[in-house]
A and B are shown apart, each in its own frame.
Chain A
Amino acid sequence: MLFKLSIKNMTKSIKDYAIYFLTLVLGVAIFYMFNSLDSQQAMLEVSQSTRSIIELMIGMLGFVSVFVSVVLGLLIVYANNFLINRRKKEFGIYMTLGMGKRQISKIILLETILVGIISLGIGLVIGIFSSQFMSILVAKLFEADMSEFHFVFSKEACIKTCIYFAVMYLAVMIFNTMTISRYKLINLLNATKKNEKVKMKNPFLAVLVFIFGSSILGYAYWKVTGDVGSMNTAEKILPPILMGIVGTVLIFWSLSGFIITVIQKMKNIYFKDTNMFVLRQINNKINTMVASMSVICLMLFMTISILSSSLALRNTMQRELVEMTPVDLNLYKTANLPESYMKYGVEHKITNEKQREDSKHPIYETLINNGLDMNVLKDIVEIEVYATNNLTWETFFGDSLNEVKEKFPGLAYGTAEEIVKISDYNKMAKLYGINEYELNEDEYIVLCDFDSQTELRNKVLAKGNYPLTIAGKEYKSKYNKCQEGFIMMSTSHTNLGIILVPDSCPLTEEMKEMYLLSANYNAETEEEKKEIEKNFAGNQNSSNLIKSLNDNGIELDGFTKISLMEASVGIATIVTFIAIYLGIIFLIASSAILALKQLTDSSDNKQRYTILRKIGCDEKMINKALFRQIGIFFGMPLILAIIHSIFGIQFAITIMSGLASKDDLLPSIIATVVIIGVIYGSYFLATYFEGKNIIKEEE
């Protein structure tokens, strides 16, 4: 009997459930898709070093999945609570007929289990099929070979999805039972009779709180953009975030009261067709869901910020990667190792005599002495990098140090500047195909391409002919700003500063800090290159030259173009995947809450629309009123979220300085707008059409 009631109930309230149900199915499908990434065919075909990046990604996705399941769990609990509250009257009748609370809990339990099993089943099927498409996308991102297509099913992901969702539904059941046990029969029966409390807020107070909330937000916005320099430690980000949350809540608490107060003053708008009704409806609705509106707004904000900054990050990384990896190989080695060195105030002795001896010779010699067939390399260029404790960042900034320190107190100002002779640099630049420079005898040039560092250095260089003492000799800056250039390959612009000096500069042997060797592989085909690559890179288990040198106590390190490419593509892909995963989950969760609230309101307020119809509104006007009401409802959290994001994204770009560039923001913002437009927009339209049906229905 109870089972029959549950089934009948579900089929009856399918309209209330539809959007909730679809959201669950979507949630399950997405959950499966992202958790099955590792077993996809593309993942099995990639190279060893990419494999380790994928493992990192799987780890992170697993972690994110816990967070995602919390978000989805909250959505399910909220939606369920919401649907149950609407059925108070029904449960009241059951109870007067002699049904106990335990039996009512059982009905709901059955319904939850049914909804759970069906949504899990359908979601998994959709997830399994969609993950095949995702597989192709992944393969493209990781440049894996997908000439043979296999249908992949991940048992682990399937089991994981089932377990996570089972736990969520279990939580829902506990919450439901708790809700039911709190009910009093008499209140259940009177639930619909009770006059809807139309809370009116004091208009003056609403305006005041609105202004207060806006000022808090304004201050938080300024903190993360105008005053971003002071955000040098992680804890300092907390106050603006808290202010943002408090401000958002205050805005939604006061928004409707504020708008009504303002629009009532504009009589020709307030009294125009159904405006008065729509405004009052919204006023009534927002007041009852300040908390959920705020949460939705913040979730949307996170979606927008995460999506656009991560996509920008990915674009920037890919663009810079090509630019920053002009040769196949970079090897570097510390020169002139001392007998001991200081680290964190502790003296470390270098006991390895061999290593000290080796550090007096260039890399080229090390390679030959250790048996590398030099024929595998071509275009070899080796240069020396100098450094001295007499020329650090501190000395570079000179009189302006205090001013700079105020803005960036966290920088390691004791870092010694890297000094390179102009002819050495030009040899390297020629190989890299980047700009070569010329210098007069008394000039120097600063090369720097890391945005925030460039900005700092330009402050002093802008003074013109900025003097520096290098190796005891006075030089002046050729340019009044930093120049582009680098000596070491990287995945992005990370050159913090290189000072180019004339070859005549009296740099001593003791100042020699590092050897740097660049070369291309002497190979025609990709396969040959990969073969040579094995000498220098590979996973931790394979043996290669660098590793065997290190094992013998000789410190030589390096990058290869291939490993940099793989790392960069991998990181960009991880970031993109996690962003899309989180973004979509946040998006469907907040859209579903809004849609659910609007739909149940539509059926609760059917009477209000019937009255409108009775006093002479035609269908068109009523639909327009409904459209505007739902539109404003969906729009408000989105608008505030967009305003938040304008500042949030700027902040994200600033703290990721160098990693993501503002130039790459536009396409990623467009992509974000498309994603949000499609998902949020679909929920909005579905809600509108469903709402229209509900208010059209006869009693």
Chain B
Amino acid sequence: MEILRVKDLCKFYGKNETLVKALDGVSFSVNKGEFVAVVGASGSGKSTLLHILGGVDKPSSGKVYVDNQDVFKLNESNLAVFRRRQVGLIYQFYNLIPILNVEENITLPLLLDGRKPDETYLNELIDTLGLRSRVKHLPNELSGGQQQRVSIGRALMNRPAVLLADEPTGNLDSKASKEIIELLKLSNKKYEQTIIMITHDQNLALNADRIITIDDGKIVSDKKVR
């Protein structure tokens, strides 16, 4: 089942001589439960792609459908609703709210949506992430790997249509990196979570089902690895 479709996506900055084509006619589609890695050198346009998929940035032209919904036809407030229900974002630098503890950070997207957290799911998530002993801690009391696990928890809390991860291990040592990748794979299997992960690390990408390579704003290869 198709959960995400990208059609002729373009994102240009500047004009005339200084025109930069960050994305230049990108099209692909992702099925539910797929784990896709987007690989490219820095400046290839992969972060721009991720931001557009997450409804954070707007494309110059082209369309993005998530769950058959044309994302950029949404108005400002519906886009916010889209972001909190359909997208989970994981960043290289975690982007946790420093004033909220682990549990609060994880449940924040739900609370913003005015819903009560599902206690069983929350507890399961916390246990899966190995954060049981840390629920009342503030982010700055955690290690980098632990913080990233919190941000995964936060991204999964709403059971989003797609989980977008931007260099999720970029700031971690190899042991913690491995843990994070295992967690992503686990969530992919356990909850049939669709994941799109951006990385410049080919080895890391090999953990995914499918690798899309981007260069100069264009898709240069799109292969199933599994």
Question: What CA separation (Å) do A90 and B83 show in the bound complex?
Answer: 16
Contact, CB under 8 Å: B76 / A9: no
Q: Which of A299-315 contact B (CB under 8 A)?
A: none
Contact, CB under 8 Å: B89 / A103: no
Given A12-B99, A93-B97, A96-B54; A1-B112 close (CB under 8 Å)? yes
CB-contact partner of B99 in A9, A95, A98, A99, under 8 A = A9
Most buried by B among A97, A99, A186: A97
Q: Which of A90-106 contact B (CB under 8 A)?
A: 90, 93-103
Contact, CB under 8 Å: B80 / A95: yes
Q: Is A122 an interface residue (CB 8 A)?
A: no
Contact, CB under 8 Å: B56 / A189: yes
Q: Is A185 an interface residue (CB 8 A)?
A: yes
Contact, CB under 8 Å: B76 / A100: yes
Contact, CB under 8 Å: A98 / B80: yes
Contact mask for chain B residues 74-85; partner A; CB cutoff 8 A; 1 contact, 0 none: 001100111111
Q: Is A8 an interface residue (CB 8 A)?
A: yes
Contact, CB under 8 Å: A8 / B99: yes
Q: Chain A binding site: helix, strand, loop or mixed by DSSP?
A: helix
* Chain B residues whose CB sits within 8 angstroms of the CB of A98 once the complex forms: 80-85, 87, 109, 112-113
CB nearest to B108 among chain A residues: A97
Say how far B14's CB is from chain A's closest CB, in angstroms.
15
Question: What CA separation (Å) do A90 and B51 show in the bound complex?
Answer: 17
* Chain A residues whose CB sits within 8 angstroms of the CB of B87 once the complex forms: 96, 98
Question: What CA separation (Å) do A171 and B12 show in the bound complex?
Answer: 38
Contact, CB under 8 Å: B98 / A99: no
Contact, CB under 8 Å: B51 / A100: no
Contact, CB under 8 Å: A1 / B113: no
Contact, CB under 8 Å: B57 / A97: no
CB-contact partner of B111 in A1, A12, A185, under 8 A = A1
Say how far A4's CB is from chain B's closest CB, in angstroms.
8
Given A1-B111, A186-B57, A189-B56; A96-B89 close (CB under 8 Å)? yes
Could you list some 25 contacts between A and B, CB below 8 A? A1-B111, A5-B100, A9-B99, A11-B99, A12-B99, A93-B95, A95-B83, A96-B56, A97-B83, A97-B108, A97-B112, A97-B154, A98-B80, A98-B82, A98-B84, A98-B87, A98-B113, A99-B112, A100-B77, A101-B76, A102-B77, A103-B80, A186-B51, A189-B51, A189-B56
* Chain B residues whose CB sits within 8 angstroms of the CB of A94 once the complex forms: 97, 112
* Chain B residues whose CB sits within 8 angstroms of the CB of A100 once the complex forms: 76-77, 80-81
Most buried by A among B83, B99, B108, B111: B99
Contact mask for chain B residues 56-84; partner A; CB cutoff 8 A; 1 contact, 0 none: 11000000000000000000110011111
Contact, CB under 8 Å: A185 / B98: no
* Chain A residues whose CB sits within 8 angstroms of the CB of B96 once the complex forms: 93
Question: What CA separation (Å) do A95 and B82 show in the bound complex?
Answer: 11
Given A8-B99, A12-B99, A185-B56; A97-B77 close (CB under 8 Å)? no
Contact, CB under 8 Å: B100 / A8: yes
Question: What CA separation (Å) do A93 and B85 show in the bound complex?
Answer: 15
Question: What CA separation (Å) do A1 and B108 show in the bound complex?
Answer: 9
* Chain A residues whose CB sits within 8 angstroms of the CB of B98 once the complex forms: 12
Say how far A194's CB is from chain B's closest CB, in angstroms.
14
* Chain A residues whose CB sits within 8 angstroms of the CB of B97 once the complex forms: 5, 90, 93-94
Most buried by A among B80, B97, B108: B80
* Chain A residues whose CB sits within 8 angstroms of the CB of B109 once the complex forms: 97-98
* Chain A residues whose CB sits within 8 angstroms of the CB of B51 once the complex forms: 186, 189
Say how far B53's CB is from chain A's closest CB, in angstroms.
12
Q: Which of B29-69 contact A (CB under 8 A)?
A: 51, 54, 56-57
Say how far B104's CB is from chain A's closest CB, in angstroms.
8
* Chain B residues whose CB sits within 8 angstroms of the CB of A8 once the complex forms: 99-100
* Chain B residues whose CB sits within 8 angstroms of the CB of A185 once the complex forms: 56-57
Q: Which 4 residue pairs are nearest across A and B when measured between Cβ atoms? A: A98-B84, A100-B80, A186-B57, A98-B83
Contact mask for chain A residues 84-125; partner B; CB cutoff 8 A; 1 contact, 0 none: 000000100111111111110000000000000000000000
Question: What CA separation (Å) do A98 and B109 show in the bound complex?
Answer: 7
Question: What CA separation (Å) do A69 and B83 show in the bound complex?
Answer: 42
Question: What CA separation (Å) do A138 and B51 show in the bound complex?
Answer: 65
* Chain B residues whose CB sits within 8 angstroms of the CB of A99 once the complex forms: 80, 84, 112
Question: What CA separation (Å) do A102 and B81 show in the bound complex?
Answer: 12
CB-contact partner of A103 in B54, B56, B112, under 8 A = B112
CB nearest to A1 among chain B residues: B111
* Chain B residues whose CB sits within 8 angstroms of the CB of A186 once the complex forms: 51, 56-57
* Chain B residues whose CB sits within 8 angstroms of the CB of A11 once the complex forms: 99
* Chain A residues whose CB sits within 8 angstroms of the CB of B83 once the complex forms: 95-98
Most buried by B among A1, A98, A102: A98
* Chain A residues whose CB sits within 8 angstroms of the CB of B80 once the complex forms: 95, 98-101, 103
CB nearest to B86 among chain A residues: A98
Question: What CA separation (Å) do A317 and B165 show in the bound complex?
Answer: 76
CB nearest to B57 among chain A residues: A186
Say how far B155's CB is from chain A's closest CB, in angstroms.
9
Say how far A170's CB is from chain B's closest CB, in angstroms.
24
* Chain B residues whose CB sits within 8 angstroms of the CB of A5 once the complex forms: 97, 99-100
Q: Which of B91-129 contact A (CB under 8 A)?
A: 95-100, 108-109, 111-113
Say how far B22's CB is from chain A's closest CB, in angstroms.
12
Most buried by A among B54, B56, B154: B56
* Chain B residues whose CB sits within 8 angstroms of the CB of A103 once the complex forms: 80, 112
* Chain A residues whose CB sits within 8 angstroms of the CB of B81 once the complex forms: 98, 100
* Chain A residues whose CB sits within 8 angstroms of the CB of B85 once the complex forms: 98
Contact mask for chain A residues 1-16; partner B; CB cutoff 8 A; 1 contact, 0 none: 1000100110110000
Q: Which of A1-56 contact B (CB under 8 A)?
A: 1, 5, 8-9, 11-12
Say how far B139's CB is from chain A's closest CB, in angstroms.
12
* Chain B residues whose CB sits within 8 angstroms of the CB of A96 once the complex forms: 54, 56, 83, 87, 89, 95
Say how far A79's CB is from chain B's closest CB, in angstroms.
21
